[in-house]
Structure 1
């Protein structure tokens, strides 16, 4: 709950994670998204600002639908929070909206679903553009086999086999609402929505699906990995550059702004909302 005399402000945030060591501020002083955004907002508030986010992204991972909140005694218009933050932010972090929230809102604990997209550029030649915003795979990938494999992972399961060793989640059981695989020219997009995610869960799923798409394993292998509950069964963790946090969902009572589902370079594609 926000303390007496404080307002609770929620922000929509997007960022290119390539040069950051993830979302979370670190004691070592390395560059993080949290510290960068807190520094910008502190200038607007003329006082220190401390942020809490909906989902802590890893080093190199991007976001176009991150939600954060902070408590402040500063009185500013919502436009001032957005424009003031953006004036003080570097080119690869942007605030898209601001909204004053009830005191019981919490960016992380009130979220009811999160959604990621993992973007693969599938071509023999490495692309000169978007190099840090997509994952390049030179092997021809069978999208139909990837989609068949993805179906095994939809539903409520123990995702221990897709969980990083340093994951701090209390339970490996998560509910995947959908896991779609679609192709758009040379782009293959994995779109996954769940109630919550384990550390490296999406990247480990992407690694399994690309292995299957390359013909190294049959689609049934995705279920075998899942049922093993052993991380090493699933092979390598996919690269972070293709991963985007695209949406965080909350109950209607909070009336948060709804934007298109990113990333930006996919907005012209026929992707389901």
Structure 2
């Protein structure tokens, strides 16, 4: 299943004692349609306040419903901030986490001196001018396979910090600066930590080659503070075509004016 959500009202994806969580909310709605309890496994867990354009998850059930009935039925039991986009039946070889070979995140920054009112929950705000071109240039050192310990949060439970970054772009569209990155996987808070360091470069606080030195140093204390969660979006994931899933990525805007 593909999910779209506004993470502002949720305490992240994973079920916990505190409510509400996205996983808990989805599982309760699915149980109403399937007529039995079930568990949902997600492609990439998101934190409190993080949004998703097409999060991918799977569940196992013997209930027989059409794909349209799953979508309409589950959505009828979900809050307005959370929607099922599609449901596809797949064989038992599919796993939302382990079958994905790439994931994309986007970080959106409102770059103006006046704080946001209408979109405060959906963008990070930076009042100082950002040089998006300088940020993009600095970010290219991150491409390829590296140890990203310098951008790994203390609570990360991953066995190792090596990840393969396949694409990274920083572009300006009016007063918005968007940072988008695709990799085979991400560490806990990795994208927000990268965004915080790129913003330090964009504000002129750090040289463009500083990011390369931080990466090589593998020391989290040498990188910039973690950027806020409001501007982060899980864009989508890529899976083998044999599963027949809808495209999971939203194209990055190419027009310099945001069109």
- TM-score, with structure 2 as normaliser: 0.96
CA distance 1:199–1:80, change in 2 (3 Å): same
Q: Which residue number corresponds to residue 113 of structure 2?
A: 124
Q: Distance in 2 between matches of 1:222 and 1:13?
A: 34
Match of 2:6 among 16, 37, 41: 16
Any conservation in 2 of the 1:261–1:267 contact (CA below 8 Å)? no
**CA drift at 1:268:** 9.6
Q: 1:30, CA displacement in angstroms?
A: 2.3
Summarize deviations over 1:72-108 as a string: whole Å, max 9, x none. Answer: 1111000011011111100110000000001110000
- Using structure 1 for the length normalisation, give the TM-score: 0.91
84, 87, 96: which one aligns with 1:95: 84
- Matching residue of 1:111: 100
1:208 aligns with 2:197: yes
Q: Secondary structure at the match of 1:216?
A: coil
Query: Which residue among 125, 145, 149 is the counterpart of 1:136?
Result: 125
Q: Give the equivalent residue in structure 1 for 2:159.
A: 170
Gapped regions of structure 2 (runs ≥ 5): none
Pick from 190, 215, 219: which aligns with 2:208?
219
Show structure 1 runs of 5+ residues with no match.
1-10
Q: Following the alignment from structure 2 to structure 1, what is the Cα–Cα distance between the partners of residues 137 and 247?
A: 31
Q: 4+ residue stretches of structure 1 with deviation over 2 A?
A: 266-272
Paired residue for 1:3?
none
SS at match of 1:188: strand
Q: C-alpha root-mean-square deviation of aligned residues, in Å?
A: 1.7
Query: Counterpart in 2 of 1:182?
Result: 171
CA contact 2:3–2:54 (8 Å) conserved in 1:
yes
Q: Can you list the C-alpha shifts for 1:129-160, whole angstroms capped at 9, x where unaligned? A: 11101101100001111011101111110000
